[in-house]
Chains A and B, each alone.
Chain A
Amino acid sequence: MFSRMAPRGRSGLGRSLAELGLLLLAILVLLDGTVLSLEAATSSEIDTHEGKPGTHKNTSKKSFPVLGIKYDDVSVPFEISLWVLLASLMKLGFHLIPRLSNVVPESCLLISVGLLVGGILKLARDEVPPVLSDRIFFLCLLPPIILDAGYFLPIRPFVENIGTILMFAVVGTLWNAFFVGGLIYAVCQIAQDKYSEIDLSNIGILPCLLFGSIISAVDPVAVLAVFEEIHINELLHILVFGESLLNDAVTVVLYHLFEEFMESGSVSAVDAILGLVSFLIVALGGVLVGAFYGILAAFTSRFTSHTRVIEPLFVFLYSYMAYLSAEVFHLSGIMSLIACGAVMRPYVEANISHKSHTTIKYFLKMWSSVSETLIFIFLGVATVEGEHHWNWVFLTSTVVLCLVARVIGVVGLTYIINKFRIVKLTTKDQFIIAYGGLRGAIAFSLGFILHSEHKKIFLTAIITVIFFTVFVQGMTIKPLVELLAVKKKHEAKRSINEEIHTRFLDHLLTGIEDICGHYGHHHWKNKLNRFNKKYVKKILIAGDRSKEPQLIAFYHKLEMKNAIQMVESGGGSKLNSTFPSTVSMQNIQPKIHSPPSARPSERALPQLTKGREEEIRQILRTNLQKTRQRLQSYNRHTLVVDPDEEGFDDLILKKRRMMELDWKVCKTSSHKSSNAIYSQAYVKPGAENVPTIKIDLASPQSPDSVRLLDEVVQDQGLTMSLPSSSSRAYKTSGKDDGRDQQKLLRCLSDPGPDVDDDEDYDDDEPVPT
């Protein structure tokens, strides 16, 4: 999701900046330390001051404090901001050191920084503030990451592999929990370590199982952090990632189950069955709560066309409410958040403006990035802070058992799953899935809130496993992926042909299933789509867009992307680079059922060479830009009309014109015959057929400005003025000029397709930053 590419060729500057960064870090930490001790000092001063009020007043009059320090009031926000600033500066720093970020994954670096900071704080003040409280973690740090993941979840691969993902998430986690829990208990009973102060055999079976359930869950934060740097193929990514998201339900249930059992002291068969029922309720309940809030959000977004500025807020608020509501009922908050994001996205994106969409995207990325950074740093700090009970037997056996359990689980499950899959999972895939089972901060927080007498040793073990998986597995997974030549993600752009064929294949397979009389999953998918289109979209999507099919939305998105590319490549001066081949539409000949005699003449060369085309484009461009500059509008309730966004629409217009140009330039007419054919075939002298683009800026005034544009363009007579200027430019034989003029007239008079500059509809691929 985030692309973290190291900058090149600035290593010298980078190193000095990194040192500066470290210096800054040290300063910040010391500042924090001194500020906090200052707080203690001022509070003590106040105490002494108040202690003898009477005497003081009599003896001296305090002079007016010109400059004072009052840290108490702002201490909490100040510290929070300081931590976030530290985290962000660290992130900045890593990317300035090019080689480091290639070798070591960011999560490792951040944990190391956390360790460092924790160590410094401990030395400076002999006591570290417990920053990773579970409330902060579960309520503030975790939701943005999960929402980001859920909102941009690639639905198609997720749903196609849902069976596999569920198998791994549910059965795999259960297996891990019981295997590790059970065997650790066995180890505790057997091991007799005379040198440690803890008697391991005291640890009962239930605490061991509880411990097993905490440590068995694959962590989404860690998986995201590591996997997104290795650019692995989509299937493996979605399998491991999906598993890490869905196993939350299992973890929640097991955790509460074992905690209850520990308190009540005994387990019965009824309890086990209730546990199973509770799992279904937790999972399905979470999903339902999320879906409910998602639909509410979609419905709300239908009415936001007049208040575009707060659209993103609805998305965030509803999602957060979904998470909190699920937590209230002890349902799975993560699943609720994922369901909310996934359900609301197609409808919300059809309703909101382009700017809101960008806002949502960037806010989510920003928050999740900061959260992730903070989590890892706090993990490091908390490691230094906590009291640890080192027991080598326990620790090493935990790590080994986790690894073994994971491998056996994955291999066993894959064997069963492959019987049902069309695309089987190979050994390489299994290895990556097993190796990618990283543990992270969720396990730590769950351990933190344990109320067990063995909490300390459990916590130490959890931290050990986390460190092992993040450092060892995280660092080595990248070289292993290279070594095993695992298929990487293709970075190829989705082509429109592939999109057309995806849709085509859907319909084809549904049709064949109907012919066979077989109610396969295409049949049901088709039914769901029809239901969606007929009822749901009408309710949840405002206006006309409820009817827009995905293919068109995809096409518009592609156009937008191309236009954006053009802007970034220098405002169209390098237009040819977007379409690098010498092919232009002039080469694509529609099959004309014309008499064979006309054929050879059709093959004549186009009269316009590349140079002339470029000049025409230049003229078009300048004309359009002159028009645009008059149309800035501003309103307090809208965002300032962004010149860049104007540029996009501009360029789409231009591009369409160019395509039409190329296309029309050598249409199916014979050059031998004279102008008579032209004037007969294309009668429109074209003042009225300027293509219109409806722009949906974040402004209620936009329809007016668009209309203004149309009028201005037509008034300027773009279509008419051109031939004269172009004929001025190229002095060739009169006959050619005549033909050129006619051609240009034809080009510009052709009504381009109506384009609605709509927002993204189908953002299947992860968005690169």
Chain B
Amino acid sequence: MGALKSTPAPIEHHDLSEKTGFSLRQIRVLHKRFKQLSDGDDVLRREDFLGISSLKYNPIRKEIIEAFFNRRNFSPSCEGRANEIDFEEFLVVMSHFKPPCSKMTDEQRKNIRREKLKFIFNMHDSDGDGLITLEDYRHLVEELLSRSGALGKETSRAIADAAMFEVARTVGHRDPDEFYEGITFEHFLKLLSNFDIESRMNIRFLKTDVIPGCRLG
């Protein structure tokens, strides 16, 4: 932490702090990391992420990187994908992983939950049409299992099918005539209603320290 200068934070940081809810210190640390990843540039591109060595082992690496460039994560009204992001957008994506504050009303808790689940939903929904289809789900399970060697596509397909089946069942009785196109966001919320995502999807930013060794390459 000795690298932090004692100069006053720029005005943008104050604005960002208000917008995303991070403290000034956290913003400074993340800014430093941003600069490190982008090689001093003002925008981050996909290639910059690919340089992080420890990300290599991650089976869902591609989805994570895509999530940073997915405009829907910047604000609810945006659509499509970006090719490069600036610091503000980087922060907005990171803010999805903030730990919840201790005193929250139920309303706030629900909102935070929605936000986090929407982030995950966007990650699953690869074509951005608001539905997670069976193909998307199959792809997801395949990726999760991709690190385990030659286990065959059939098992991952079976798991994805079973999961989809379960969703359809949970969501309720449907007319046999109707086809179930895919999981909508509302169904997704209902499906994971028992999953306490607001306490699990967190990174402890309080002690974030950019360790010089953990860098690109």
Residues A519 and B214 in contact, CB atoms below 8 Å apart? yes
Name B141-178 residues within 8 Å CB distance of A. 141, 144-145, 147-149, 151-152, 154-155, 157-159, 161-170, 172-178
Interface string of B101-135 (1 = CB under 8 A from A): 01000000000000000001001000000000111
Which of B59, B99, B123, B167 is close to A497, meaning CB atoms less than 8 Å apart? B167
Q: A496-B163, A518-B203, A583-B169 are in contact. Are A511 and B58 (CB under 8 A)?
A: yes
Residues A514 and B144 in contact, CB atoms below 8 Å apart? no
Residues A586 and B191 in contact, CB atoms below 8 Å apart? no
Chain B residue numbers with a CB within 8 Å of A590 are 133-135
Nearest to A663 among chain B residues (CB) is: B161
Interface string of A578-606 (1 = CB under 8 A from B): 01111111111111000000000011011
Tell me if B54 is interfacial: C-beta within 8 Å of chain A.
yes
Q: A514-B55, A516-B208, A663-B161 are in contact. Are A508 and B194 (CB under 8 A)?
A: no
Which of A422, A424, A516, A581 is close to B172, meaning CB atoms less than 8 Å apart? A581
Which of B33, B157, B174 is close to A587, meaning CB atoms less than 8 Å apart? B174
The stretch from B7-15, B17-25, B179-187 touching chain A is B179-187
Bound-complex Cα distance A504 to B143 (A)? 10
Chain B residue numbers with a CB within 8 Å of A579 are 165, 169
Bound-complex Cα distance A555 to B155 (A)? 9
Residues B148 and A589 in contact, CB atoms below 8 Å apart? no
Residues B100 and A500 in contact, CB atoms below 8 Å apart? no
**Could you show 15 A-B contacts with beta carbons less than 8 Å apart?**
A503-B144, A504-B144, A507-B58, A512-B203, A514-B54, A517-B33, A530-B57, A549-B148, A551-B144, A580-B169, A582-B173, A583-B174, A584-B176, A587-B179, A588-B168
Query: A-contacting residues of B (Cβ < 8 Å)?
Result: 30, 33, 36-37, 49, 52, 54-55, 57-61, 64, 94, 97, 99-100, 102, 120, 123, 133-135, 140-141, 144-145, 147-149, 151-152, 154-155, 157-159, 161-170, 172-182, 191-192, 194-195, 197, 199-205, 207-211, 214-215
Contacts A517-B215, A590-B135, A754-B155 known; 10 new A-B pairs at CB < 8 A: A424-B102, A495-B166, A495-B191, A497-B192, A501-B120, A504-B60, A511-B64, A518-B207, A591-B182, A752-B154
**Nearest 7 CB-CB pairs, A to B?**
A753-B154, A753-B158, A589-B179, A511-B64, A591-B133, A549-B148, A514-B54
Contact residues on A (Cβ < 8 Å of other chain), bracket: 35 or more
Tell me if A746 is interfacial: C-beta within 8 Å of chain B.
no
A595: min CB distance to chain B, Å? 17
Q: A588-B180, A590-B133 are in contact. Are A507 and B59 (CB under 8 A)?
A: yes
Residues A496 and B166 in contact, CB atoms below 8 Å apart? yes
Chain A residue numbers with a CB within 8 Å of B173 are 581-583
Which of B33, B123, B165, B199 is close to A588, meaning CB atoms less than 8 Å apart? B165
A-B contact count (CB 8 A): 201
Q: A530-B57, A591-B134 are in contact. Are A500 and B140 (CB under 8 A)?
A: yes
Bound-complex Cα distance A526 to B61 (A)? 14
Residues B168 and A587 in contact, CB atoms below 8 Å apart? yes
Nearest to A606 among chain B residues (CB) is: B176
Q: A511-B58, A515-B49, A523-B54 are in contact. Are A588 and B178 (CB under 8 A)?
A: no
Chain A residue numbers with a CB within 8 Å of B211 are 517, 519
